[in-house]
Structure 1
Amino acid sequence: MKKQNFKGSVMLNPTPVVVVTCKNSEDKVNAFTVGWISTVCTKEPIIAMGVRPERLSYDYIKESQECVINLPSRDMVKFVDYCGVVSGRKIDKIKHFGYKLNEGVSISTPSIDLAPVALECKVKSITPLGTHDLFLLDVLNVKVSEDIIDEKGKICFNKANLICYNHGEYFGLNAKPLGSFGYSIRKKKKSFNKK
């Protein structure tokens, strides 16, 4: 496959796209879109998130030392985009869309009711990097909509209609998996034909 070279840039695509809720000391809640986010550790569960220091939510999270990572579904895509381009200094984005909030369980910051999954986080550390600062977040509690949990208690993310961000555009995820973890090395079951 023939390739062209580009100068070093953040070309990791697609990425998860999330809406982060946070609040300040006056209990004002803001929501903003984050595309630079990733799991970095499972035990203890830690998520890394890049945030520009000039964002209003940067100050809220730094002050409260907590936030909620809301995983949006396809029907929230307009809200996701809006939260990424409109400042909370100008408008209450949650109220503008008429979304309801759910109280926090492990933290005082609420989550967005419509989001099928919400991760309640405490700030572990903040590291300045350049255009963005790196927030390491301890995940304390995860709220999951009962609509995406099957009768055996398994979380079926394929039913959540999650979205991703790919070089300036939002995409829905295909609900049919291409494989499952470890499928490439599993032994295939032998089938015997009866004669």
Structure 2
Amino acid sequence: MSKRAFPLRDVYGLLEPGPVVLLSTSHRGRDNVMTLSWHVMMEFEPPKVGCVVSNRNHSFSLLRGSKQCAINIPTAELTDAVVGCGNTSGRDGDKFDAFGLTRVAGTAVDVPLVRECYANLECRVIDTRFVKAYNFFVLEVLRARVDRTVADPRTLHHRGWGAFMQAGPTVRTPSRMR
């Protein structure tokens, strides 16, 4: 197998494991939704997720202030909204309205969920020790809801620099995980 040198700035696109999500936040009457792909599962039960939210993003101050959020998992049908939310700032206007996203009240958190998304995970911040150095928040998922009518969601996966790929068919194998 012949291999070539690969730019270090593009390594992210090789390792990015999870779907692009829409992170919704709210604090002091200000709602926002941002595109996020830098996240990682950290624990099974209770489910814990780590994510990086740049301190330059409007969502950073909302998340830090309220200590709660929702991870909304879109499918490929929402590509335009995902890209739009990722390329604009909530400081400049309401991204829910701008990109045709419907707010739904959360039940475990005081944050709007995105109705159009395949899944909604209501989360609270449980660890901020790495926020100052890395903008890394640890979240606990308090409640999860999925659209049961979608068997194989075609989620988006960011490859970097405006390139996405879609999830394909599910491949099932025997598992010993308990």
> Equivalent residue of 2:2, what SS?
coil
Partner of 2:172: 179
Give distance in 2, aligned partners of 1:181 and 1:53. Answer: 42
Partner of 2:51: 49
C-alpha deviations, 1:134-160, integer Å up to 9, x for none?
A: 110000000212423xxxxxxx3x1x3
Q: TM-score, normalised by structure 2?
A: 0.87
Note the residue ranges of structure 1 that are not aligned, 5 or more in a row.
149-155, 184-195
Partner of 1:76: 78
CA offset at residue 92 of structure 1? 0.8
Bigger share in helix: 2
CA offset at residue 20 of structure 1? 0.4
Task: Please report the RMSD computed on the Cα atoms of aligned residues, expressed in angstroms.
Answer: 2.0
CA offset at residue 167 of structure 1? 2.5
Give distance in 2, aligned partners of 1:123 and 1:6. Answer: 36
C-alpha deviations, 1:4-47, integer Å up to 9, x for none?
A: 4457554313542101000111x221000011011111122100
Task: Please say if 1:67 is aligned against 2:91.
Answer: no
Q: TM-score, normalised by structure 1?
A: 0.80
Kindly tell me the number of residue pairs found equivalent between the two proteins: 171
Task: Please say if 1:105 is aligned against 2:111.
Answer: no
Give distance in 2, aligned partners of 1:166 and 1:57. Answer: 22
Partner of 1:38: 40
Task: Say if 1:103 and 1:109, in contact at 8 Å, map to a contact too.
Answer: yes
Equivalent position amino acid for 1:16 in 2: P
Task: Say if 1:23 and 1:30, in contact at 8 Å, map to a contact too.
Answer: yes
Give distance in 1, aligned partners of 2:22 and 2:106. Answer: 15
Note the residue ranges of structure 2 that are not aligned, 5 or more in a row.
none
Give distance in 1, aligned partners of 2:2 and 2:86. Answer: 35
